[in-house]
Amino acid sequence: MSELAGIRRIADWVAANQNQPGREWFMNVSATVESVDRPVSRRRFVRVLLGFSVVSSLSMVVAPVIGFLIPSRKRAAGAAGRLLVGTVDDFGPGRSKVVALGSKPVIVLNSPKGMRAFSAICTHLGCIVGYDVSQSPDIVSPCHDGHFSAISGTVISGPPPAPLKEYLVAVQANDIYVQEA
């Protein structure tokens, strides 16, 4: 059978079955296929894009607020009680570590008179202090060279107006804990 004859037979069949009950279904399917085939309009595309950006912006704002309102177990434990900061072996002579007690940075160090812990926030403009015995036995604020005593936290020199807040240090067995004084 030639192609032309085949097309003619199909056309005859469609003409003969125009009023058959299945015709509506066929027309509906054709309309659906047509609408799916239609390219996405620019307006619809922009609307979808705006929807995505609104959702992502909301999640960026809401997630930190929820994180703040429902603190993690680890942070809550640090804020409420004492915090395990390491073992005696971690703090050889002159060694130090800055840890997070709740949301506060605390410097824990092995001073010439034993373990000490102070707020790691400089009382001048808030820089994080350090303890480097190779340069000085003091706690030093790197921003404006403020010096604090590694034993008491008092100001030795520089612009800091007040001493560093001290925290309690407890050594149990081989573990070292820090907590609010």
Report how far residue 123's alpha carbon sits from residue 163's, in angstroms, rounded to the nearest whole number: 7
Burial per residue of 96-130, b for 16 or more beta-carbon CB atoms within 10 angstroms, e otherwise: bbebebeeeebbbbbbeeebbbbbbbbbbeebebb
Select 39 or 126, whichever has its Cβ closest to ligand FES.
126
To the nearest whole angstrom, how small is the minimum distance from the Cβ of residue 161 to ligand FES? 10
Report how far residue 139's alpha carbon sits from residue 52's, in angstroms, rounded to the nearest whole number: 49
Select 108 or 122, whichever has its Cβ closest to ligand FES.
122
To the nearest whole angstrom, how small is the minimum distance from the Cβ of residue 120 to ligand FES? 11
Select 79 or 143, whichever has its Cβ closest to ligand FES.
143
To the nearest whole angstrom, how small is the minimum distance from the Cβ of residue 145 to ligand FES? 6
- What letter represents residue 49's amino acid? L
* Footprint on this chain of ligand FES (rule: CB under 6 A): 122, 124-125, 127, 141, 143-144, 146, 158-160
Select 44 or 144, whichever has its Cβ closest to ligand FES.
144
Report how far residue 148's alpha carbon sits from residue 141's, in angstroms, rounded to the nearest whole number: 8
